[in-house]
Structure 1
Amino acid sequence: MTLRLPLPGGGTRAYEPRAEPLAPAAPGPLTSRTVFSAAHVVADPYADTTPDGPAAVDWDATLAFRRHLWSHGLGVAEAMDTAQRGMGLDWAGAAELVRRSAAEAKTAGGAIACGVGTDQLTGPATLPEIRAAYEEQLAVVEESGAQAILMASRALAAAAAGPEDYLELYGHLLRQAAEPVILHWLGPMFDPALEGYWGSADLDAATETFLEVIAAHPDKVDGVKISLLDAGREIALRRRLPEGVRCYTGDDFHYPELIAGDDQGFSHALLGIFDPLGPLAAEAVRTLDTGDTAGFRKLLDPTVALSRHLFEPPTRYYKTGVVLLAWLAGHQEHFTMVGGLHSARSLPHLARAYELADGLGLFPDPARAEARMRALLTVHGVPQ
């Protein structure tokens, strides 16, 4: 049946939904790349809460989605910005998410790495307070048995006087970490409060500080996640990493070429877009495992248009499209988000996300996705 999709500024256009989904190959382990999907949280739609209240999470549906990702051979990057850290999910909720997901990972035999930040700090903080906040969260993640991802800190960005403060604080954390961690450089397009991270708004200068942190503690850095949406900068940085330190791309615009790599190396992956792309992304990487780079690109290149749409400015609201697609794909029974973030994107934006995802065959049951999209359009006054 034809859907009437809204146009920006008014009016509608006809769209014929896909009749059949793609049929991904049988799941299996990934061998040539380490791949994490940053996973979203599922809100409890029955909770009587407010946007500025504590997050109410549907734990059963949230953990079921993680089992879905593990079943396809992907690792889960937990309690990251995709899970609405600092945008609806506070530290108390994130700590519970870490504990529950890490326990589930042990049962499922899945890989998991969890975000360590300072978001329990609610106002201006001193450097000792920031260090203590990081230490508190690092302890929670390590006690859960998960790998730690040292996330960029809004509090540190506000308090640091220059590169020396980053070198001292990260050096302290790396020295006390029980196991090698992943360092996360999240650009201001994902969080404006992180402008000038590593002590400078000049990315070349910031890169030198970042590399200095790594070079001083290569045995404590498993890898680095780069989320700057700049493929050239990521490649240049990747080539300067100490031997044994991995680069995990967080570039949701250029991930196919960065993962495929070149004759001087490649990036592993830790991506929010692999939340909706899970089965297809896993199939693409298994194709790459066989040495078939062209086949990998044939599968993954067509997904970039969807990713660029979801992550268009303001980029930090990409989570809204991610959760919409999870609902349409049947991974949850509603389209609501913690903090009310389901209202963060326009109806035309969501309609285009549906169209692009449907064209890729991402929905296991296209008829269900069509019916749900039709209901969403109807309740927003778009005649069908």
Structure 2
Amino acid sequence: MKTTKKAVISGLAMIGTAVLLAGCGAAPESTGASAGAGASDYLPCMVSDSGGFDDKSFNQLGKEGLDAAAAELGSKKPIEVQSQAETDFASNLQNLVDQGCNTIITVGFLLAPAALESAKANPEVEYVSIDDTVDQDFDGKTDAPNIKPIIFDTAQAAYLAGYLAAGTSKTGVVGTFGGMNIPTVTIFMDGFAQGVEKYNADNGTSVRVVGWDRAAKDGSFTGGFEANDTARQTAQAIIDQNVDVLLPVGGPIYQSAAVAIQDAGREIALVGVDADVFETDPSIGSLLLTSILKGIDVGTKDAIVAAGQGNFDVAPFVGTLENDGVGIAPYHDWSDRVPAELTSKIDALKADIISGKIIVESYLAG
């Protein structure tokens, strides 16, 4: 089940156009696997990535969507299993199968190989894959007929955040770093850098991005998704390059970035990811310029409600600016520091991305 990073990125690029077409209006396909059971007997379940369900980010959003769906359905109480490491994925999935779960949601790109193995071994169980299409053979199709992908073209929203960051930076240097060099992380960094490039082109400026090289497809990474001293040191190394806006991509690693910002003793804006971190973690709200949003909770809820009603739909959902699957959060405490003309320009850019006038490059853009 192992693949190289290059192969993964190549395969994901191949499927981009097909998946986006599916997400933008292909007819739903239903396996009917839940149709025989009433909602009260339906058991939805979830496996987290290593960040855990209290990461105030994508795992937490997935759990919130699952819990909301179960409440709406009046189903059995969901079973949620937390992974401490990648070595837990297969056993956690088997544990849920053994407990009779009707639908299992896997949260995160890294769970895809284990999810595929489990789905093939248990064709009667429905699977929802958040952040991966589960196309391990790179033929442009999900590799098992009982898996629904929920994925997000976050480059579009990150583009807006990059433009915003460049427009609010006083030092002319903005930075980013990630948990791991995988497509679902670097898609944020790519979009962010493209937004900065657009700002420079529009305004004759030369705002720099440190921590990510679009041409080399490499940059600063912590090697995982834990809030730890490695993440703090990585953030500090970027801040030391005169950065005054910082985008950490990787669930809880934003917490370590916040510590580094507070230790710096100067005004540095933080950009959150996945959830509106101002709402999920008010303790660092004053640092937040905005957050790049993924509608994981909404996508998860919709998929589980459909499954619980016997209408499990395996057509991929792709979150975009157009369908509100991605976006940027309000500026909250930073509102008075963002010029009105910059806000208006970002609104115009959003409209141009939705219309197709601006194409934001990503492995999902086709």
| TM-score relative to the length of structure 1 | 0.28
The structure in which a higher percent of residues are strand is: 2
Tell me the TM-score normalised to structure 2 length.
0.30
